[in-house]
Every structure is written in C-alpha cells, then in structure tokens.
C-alpha cells in the first residue's frame, strides 16, 4: 500500500506517506479503513501544496476549509477535522512538533489558561474536574472581568447564581470550584485575602446511602460475558476490577502493563491527585487479566492494559467506554444499569458483609478520610442492630 500511494502524495506530506501507511497496518486498520485514510492524506497533501503550506504548519484549524469543501462535495466519509487525529498523532511521533498557537490577547482567556495549568500540574486534578473548575471560573469572569475591588457581597451573590437550578451534588462542586479559583487569585496576588471564605456552602442534606447492586447481581454481570471471545475476555476483566477491587473508572482506563506485578501479586493504581498505591491482586482478578492479555488483547505498541476492540488498537480515551461495557453487561444479565461508581459501592458493601473492618475497606478503596468510609457502616443493618441499645421503658 505504501508504494501505491507514494506517487499520489507528492507534496509536503510525501515524506510521511509510507510510514503512515505502515502505522495504519500496525494499529489494526482494515484494508478498507486504511485506504480511506490514505485517500484523505492525498487530498490533504494536494490542498497544502496548492497553498504553499508545509507539514509543520498542519493543524485542524488550518484545514477546516478543506473539510468544509469535502462536505459540500457530498463525500461520504472523513468529513470533519477529527479525521485528522490518526495522521496528526503520527506526525508528532515522527518528530514534527505542533505549531505554536497564536498568542492570546483576551485577558480572561489568559487567566483561565493559567488557572487550568495550575489545576492540572500543581493540584493534579483529572481532566473532567479541571474542565468543570475552569467553566465556573469563566462564568465568574464574565460577571466580574475586573476583580481587584472584589468584596464578600460580590462572592455571595455569584454563589447564589451559579448554584441556581443545580442539584445538590452539582452545586457543591460549583462551590468547591469557586473557592479554588478565589484561592488561586489570592495566591497570584490579584485579590484581597480571605475572599474564598465568603463562598457559602450549598445547603441541603442527602439522605442517600452508598447504593450497592442487589446480592447476586455482580455475579450475573460477570457470567454475562462470553469469555470464548476476545471482547468478552476484555469486558470480564474490566468488570472483575470494578466488582472485586472497587477501582474507579479513570483508574481502569489509566492502568498500564507495568502496573501489574505478577511476582508479588500486586496492582499499582494511579488514583486521584496523581496518587499511586499498590493493592493485592486477588487470584480471580489476576486470572481474568491474564486471560485477556494472553488470548484477547490485540497486538499494539500501547502500554495500556485495556485497548479498543477495533482499530486503532489504543487505550480508551475516557471512561465512556467503561459505561458502554457496563450497559451491555446489564442488558445481557437482565438487571438495571449500574454505573462504575455503583460497583465501587458494591465492592465495599460485599467486603463489609464478609466481616472486613472499615479500616481495611478504607485501604482498598483508598479513602483519604475515615469519614468517607464510615458511611458504609450505615449499610450493614444487621451489625448496626447489634450496637443498638434498647429504648428505655420498652417492653
């Protein structure tokens, strides 16, 4: 395939055509899908050549007019700049740096960019949390683009507006985001100290206890996976990590081959805030992982444990794939949908019912505060009954 396209791609991308064709094969693309990518590459190469652009200038924004033209022509596939992702990734791995972005001039964007960097690098927050905190910061800056004269009354009024219409959980997250932004502004020397204390807490009480799925349903989810097939082995291993170790979705997505210590029977979990902690690897979970790695995982240069089932064979981009795995398993098992976090509650509840003390459950779930784990004590009604004292004067 590379020889066939070398003559077609004769502009600024000619140097990379053969290597890209080979990478498509390595990533598991079918002949048809790889051909479509190479046809796009030829179209892109001619477009860049006609306009005097080099490979190092290639960005999604630059070639948006090309994709607009493809849509206008009525082409049937690869119609948006997202189609560039495989080739842009190849260029970066080939040593072609990303073109420098145009300098921002909007003061609000400059502030939120720096705040985003602080959240990601200094605090180590995951991408979803960073995006939400930056969203709240943007909403605040829209109302108060000049914040050198901020007073507590401004903060209180904005807190009410940003929480309006939100559920309790979302309102609490917005309050945390606003406090974080105000502390950062103070740290940067842009506001008076202590303004974060003016952020009122979201009033409300959530009576909901940690909700586990019903006894026996976890086993039904595991049995629903067809372990004769590669996809079934993958999904079974994912469900085993959720049900038995209570891993978070993001922790499963980030799991790498080097995190599995087979000799010691341990697994390295990359948790929140860049924390890395080792957990014992139960034998049944280890067998599930080994079954997938030996007879289900596609060949790939990726070090991620769990890969996409279709080309390109790379790690999951986010936890959405895990929710899809759970959704299909719940349908097969005939049970109501359970989120990854609900299976985390299930793992904790099963450990509690088996007699594990809260301190051990906290270690497995890697809770920072004992208060978080203590919520599970309310779930075990039998053991709570043993502690209940008789009502004075009752028969």
Q: Token pair of 127, please?
A: 């991408």
In DSSP terms, 256 is beta-bridged to: 304
Q: Token pair of 38, please?
A: 């190479």
Do the Cβ atoms of 51 and 23 come closer than 8 Å? no
Name the catalytic one among 36, 138, 270, 272: 272
Known catalytic residue: 248? yes
Known catalytic residue: 341? yes
Known catalytic residue: 376? yes
Known catalytic residue: 367? yes
Q: Which residues contact 326 (CB under 8 A, 6 or more apart)?
A: 221, 239, 242, 337, 338, 339, 340, 343
Q: How far is it, in rounded angstroms, from Cα 237 to Cα 220?
A: 14
Name the catalytic one among 172, 328, 341, 353: 341
Do the Cβ atoms of 313 and 300 come closer than 8 Å? yes
Name the catalytic one among 248, 297, 304, 345: 248
Task: Write down the H helix ranges in the chain.
Answer: 2-6, 14-26, 31-50, 64-72, 85-93, 107-117, 127-143, 152-163, 168-187, 217-223, 230-245, 249-253, 283-295, 320-333, 340-353, 358-365, 370-374, 381-387
For residue 256, the tally of other CB atoms under 10 A from its CB is 14
Task: Please give the helix or strand (H or E) that residue 277 lies within, else none.
Answer: strand 276-280
Name the catalytic one among 16, 29, 236, 376: 376
Known catalytic residue: 6? no
Known catalytic residue: 49? no
Catalytic residues: 248, 272, 341, 344, 367, 376
């Amino acid at each position: 395939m590379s020889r066939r396209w070398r003559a077609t791609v004769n502009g600024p991308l000619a140097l990379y055509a053969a290597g890209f064709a080979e990478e498509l094969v390595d990533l598991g693309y079918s002949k048809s899908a790889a051909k479509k990518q190479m046809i796009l590459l030829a179209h892109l190469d001619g477009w860049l050549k006609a306009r005097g652009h080099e490979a190092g200038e290639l960005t999604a924004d630059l070639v948006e007019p090309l994709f607009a033209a493809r849509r206008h022509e009525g082409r049937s596939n690869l119609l948006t700049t997202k189609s560039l992702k495989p080739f842009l990734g190849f260029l970066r791995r080939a040593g072609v740096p990303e073109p420098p972005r145009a300098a921002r001039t909007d003061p609000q964007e400059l502030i939120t960019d720096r705040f985003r960097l602080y959240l990601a690098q200094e605090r180590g927050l995951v991408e979803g949390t960073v995006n939400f905190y930056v969203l709240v910061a943007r909403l605040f800056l829209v109302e108060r683009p000049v914040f050198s004269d901020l007073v507590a009354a401004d903060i209180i009024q904005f807190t009410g507006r940003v929480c309006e219409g939100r559920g309790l959980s979302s309102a609490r997250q917005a309050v945390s985001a606003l406090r974080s932004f105000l502390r950062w502004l103070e740290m940067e020397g842009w506001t008076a100290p202590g303004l974060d204390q003016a952020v009122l807490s979201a009033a409300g009480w959530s009576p909901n206890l940690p909700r586990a799925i019903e006894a026996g349903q976890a086993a039904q989810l595991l049995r629903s996976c067809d372990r004769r097939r590669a996809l079934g082995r993958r999904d079974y291993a994912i469900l085993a990590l959720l049900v038995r170790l209570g891993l978070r979705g993001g922790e499963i997505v980030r799991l790498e081959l080097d995190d599995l210590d087979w000799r010691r029977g341990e697994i390295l979990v990359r948790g929140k805030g860049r924390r890395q902690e080792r957990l014992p690897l139960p034998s049944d979970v280890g067998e599930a992982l080994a079954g997938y790695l030996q007879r289900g995982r596609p060949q790939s240069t990726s070090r991620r444990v769990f890969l996409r089932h279709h080309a390109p064979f790379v790690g999951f981009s986010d936890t959405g794939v895990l929710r899809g795995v759970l959704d299909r398993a719940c349908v097969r098992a005939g049970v109501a949908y359970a989120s990854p976090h609900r299976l985390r509650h299930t793992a904790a509840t099963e450990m509690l019912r088996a007699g594990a003390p809260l301190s051990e459950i906290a270690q497995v779930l890697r809770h920072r505060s004992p208060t978080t784990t203590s919520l599970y004590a309310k779930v075990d009604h039998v053991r709570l009954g043993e502690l209940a004292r008789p009502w004075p004067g009752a028969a």
